[in-house]
Structure 1
Amino acid sequence: MLSKTYSRLRSHLVLKSLRPGRLRQERRNPPVLYVPGIFGTKLYDRQRQVYLWSDYRGLLFRQPGEAGFELDPTDPQRVLANETLHEFRIVPGIYSSIVTRDVVNALEVGLGYRLGCDLFFLAYDWRSDYRRLGGLIELEIRRLQSRFGEHQKIVLIGQSVANPAIRYWLRTCTPEIRESIGKWYAFGPPWRGTWNSVYMLQNGYWPATRKYHGFSAEAVGTCPSVYQLLPAEGRMIDRRGERIDGFDIFDAGHWRDAGLPCQQANLAGQLAQARDFAAAIAGTHPAEAAVPQTWFVNAANQAVSAALEGEGNAPAATSLETIRKRAPEILERCQEIGDDHFPLRHITEAPCGPLVTSLDAMPWGDNAVVVSRAHDHRALINHGPNLYALVKDMAMLRCTADHLHV
């Protein structure tokens, strides 16, 4: 496949200066557990015996009304999420949209990792309550320690929305299991949520166009995970650009008043559990801080920092494109530097380590926040400098920290 071949060659070019052959020979690799982000696990319909979410067939061969992407509380096991989506196949055998294949290749080329041998991906249902994900992570860590040794440290890599779930788990798990984490690499952690979650509740998610298969707004509204990604500070402004005092993103009544989608079943209940989750991962926590970690974030774009209230029957504007069309004169009051999902401020106000904008200043092996300029939020995990930094930092840990080994 052309995309996979290109990804492999790109890894060789990105890591060329690290002399990967030398890195692979120095020491044994600690096991890596990668936790994908939203849409990062395939969805398999057991009743129809087809994949709903994995390649072009899920977009083209069914009508939107037959999607099956929603969570069905009466039959929650009908659709399974148990296989990692490394690439979304567009033209079979020729072209794919890379999801996690670049990071797989970087770890294989740079450090000699192999999928299923010492590099593992945790497939999980990203539609469900993120508070359950920690239990799956813990089970997988114990499984790996049964294979590699009970004292083996595990390296965690979290992509995007998986990181709040990891943070929640680290704050609630036992000290024993927490100490099993050698280091945690968090790519694009939306600690305070994102207005993109509201935009998806308004419009759904359509990978191609609305002419093809996608996640309707009704399907998105059944997913507790989407509500747990609501922007915790939830700023709302009026048409004059003035902040609306007292607006509460977790209050269903305020959703009706501001023009946010309020037709979803059990909206109040979904918002209540989202409020609890936001409070549980807010700020800093000594248990979590005890785990070595590096965050990778983006500063190449503008992100929504405040939504525009809907007037009359108009829905609230929750994306920069919508605000630009409706009220371009107040756009500057609604955006901040970050990536296209959330402002950089959400990451840098309580960083886990020094902010690094150049790899020349990287404190290899220690905590840091790497501020890069990837194309967008989705590209953060595939950004060449980030892959380089990940491989080199893991190599430094492997060479200098014996506690990563049995």
Structure 2
Amino acid sequence: MRVQAVMAGLVSAVVGYASSFTVVLAGLRAVGATPGQAASGLLALCCGVGAAAIFLGLRYRMPISIAWSTPGAALLMATGPVPGGFPAAVGAFIVCAGLLVLAGLSPWPARAIAAIPRPIAAAMLAGVILSLCTAPVRAVVDVPMLAVPVVLTWAVLQRYQRRWAVPCALAVAVVAIAVQGNGGGLSGAALRPAVELTAPALSLSAVVSIAIPLFLVTMAAQNVPGMAVMATYGYLPPLRPVLVTTGLASAVAAPFGGHAVNLAAITAALTAGPDTHPDPGRRWIATVALGAGQLALGLGAGLAMALVLLSPPVLVTAVAGLALLSALGSSLAGAVTEPEGREAAVVTFVVTASGMTILSIGAAFWGLAAGGLTALLLHRRSPSEPPAEQPAPAVPADQRS
């Protein structure tokens, strides 16, 4: 049975890595990282995820799955370059890590996140990833010989083996690149990327455009759902120590290019479910195996970066878009399901999806601000809120019982 748990953890590591490493590399490149810095960032994230998962699994004997922030990487792709370049982005990563640690040390940041209406938070995430999710369509038009097999593979496996849909689509993309004659450079790629340290620079625009939205997205789209998934399987890990641990891992990874480490929201179901081990008290083994698997996969970050460089940019974005389609669907559903606040959510979605930049501040922040202002403007009294008490009309003495 221990072998079963170990295998579940290794599968979770492979699925989590293969389904979203292209998003991470594309996000780091979008905010100004060189290929070497992006590969270093991927390696740093793998090490941060692995170390945090092993520590938390052994410390609490629970299947506390850890991952990098895929929605956060999508946010980086949508934000693009910021004044100060990649050093300013690294500075923003450190600020985000500090906010995660602060959220674990003090209850008020978590309360502040909880105060953001869920439809607005979901709409912001949907607006961030919308343009990425349209990339498969653009790829089919621009490079049909490469993109069509990838999309078809993903579509078929979505029907029969959903967890392997994106990894297998990525494998087909690699084969397609090799068939096209562009894969020869892979043989000369470094299996272990050179670790590159980037001196951080503090920039107000980067903090507002990257750090704050990255913190909000990581909390709302990763940590909160991750806790919810674990609760469905009967696990209630202590959130504050988890936030401190992932925040410290993020802070260590940031100077090497890593953006954020957090609770896993998707692969958590792969390690915490009954298929991992019949004994709930032994499923933590899968988390430790996941951490070890991530450490091993990090050694291939240089090869992963070489693959991205050899691929047509639209194809890389297409694979990332396929990985984010389910996140887009759940975000849109969360944004418009409740009639109360739907208008504010739509405003948040539209402003964020516009991709506009004002005062060097990205659209994610402005979408959140616009949605919050709309919610305040259109605030209605809750139906459960009793109306203001009115004085009772006077009753003539002759009509009193």
Question: TM-score, structure 1 length as denominator?
Answer: 0.27
Return the structure number with greater strand share.
1
Question: TM-score, structure 2 length as denominator?
Answer: 0.27
Return the structure number with greater helix share.
2
